[in-house]
Amino acid sequence: GAVVSQHPSWVICKSGTSVKIECRSLDFQATTMFWYRQFPKQSLMLMATSNEGSKATYEQGVEKDKFLINHASLTLSTLTVTSAHPEDSSFYICSASQREASEQFFGPGTRLTVL
Amino acid sequence: GQSLEQPSEVTAVEGAIVQINCTYQTSGFYGLSWYQQHDGGAPTFLSYNALDGLEETGRFSSFLSRSDSYGYLLLQELQMKDSASYFCAVRDVQNNAGNMLTFGGGTRLMVKP
């Protein structure tokens, strides 16, 4: 149980294009989903937290107009990187939890490369 | 705010025991989690300590001392496949967002034959 999937697993795009990453909880309802970014050999940095049906809460320094998060259902959250640039190249990982103060379950990650 | 400190790298040989320490300074604290991440992969949950003491799960054990803001992950009978990065993470609840995690910088463990 508690499986989280991400799609795509990797994507290469041209600078200036937008990329959408999906995060799904496959066998449970995720009241909260989290989006992290990880640069090579660094830690996971929380970008934003989203609760189903409400606006995402972004961490300081993360541009909400650039990283659009939608959590339309209890099993799906999407992250759209708008007008991507090479510095946005990173490993994007989502996680999901079922209720307050419960374990986070991580997706397999999406490696984004912007040329 | 939250800050967590752990060593950046540890090297050990197969069959040995290694301890990865984590100290934290946090405004809120529910517990300390440990995650393993292989290169190119996602973090996988190893253990969680909410109370003081030692939690054992197979070859891996985790310890917490809330009064010292300190914990460690103990890996026994090291195997080559244990070569990975290990992250401690403080679990907290903020902004009604449920279970929040703040990660340490990670410790890269290299197991040698």
**Using 50, 70 and 90 to split pLDDT, how confident is the model at A1?**
low
Q: Is A43 on the interface with B (CB under 8 A)?
A: yes
Determine the Cα–Cα distance for residues B8 and B6; give it in Å rounded to an integer. 6
Closest CA to A20 of A75, A64, A79: A79
Let me know how many helices (H) and strands (E) chain A has, helices first: 0, 11
Mean pLDDT value across residues A67-92:
94
Determine the Cα–Cα distance for residues A98 and A22; give it in Å rounded to an integer. 18
pLDDT tens, position by position, for chain B (113 residues)?
A: 678 999 999 999 999 999 999 999 988 888 999 999 999 899 999 999 999 999 998 999 999 999 999 999 999 999 999 999 999 999 886 655 557 889 999 999 999 99
Residues on chain B touching A42 (C-beta within 8 angstroms): 105-106
Residues on chain B touching A112 (C-beta within 8 angstroms): none
Q: Is A23 on the interface with B (CB under 8 A)?
A: no
**Using 50, 70 and 90 to split pLDDT, how confident is the model at A69?**
very high
Structure tokens at B93: 């609840």
Of A45, A47, A106, A113, which to mutate for an interface test with B (greatest number of B Cβ within 10 Å)?
A106
Asked whether the bond before A86 is cis by omega within 30 degrees of 0, the reply is no
Alpha helices in B50-107 (DSSP H): none
Q: Give the pLDDT of residue B41.
A: 92
Q: Give the pLDDT of residue A53.
A: 79
Q: Give the pLDDT of residue A104.
A: 87
Nearest Cα of chain A lies from the Cα of B47 at a distance, in angstroms, of: 10
Strand spans (E) along chain B:
3-5, 9-13, 18-25, 31-37, 44-49, 53-57, 60-65, 70-75, 84-93, 99-103, 107-112
Helix (H, G, I), strand (E, B) or coil at B81: helix
Residues on chain A touching B8 (C-beta within 8 angstroms): none
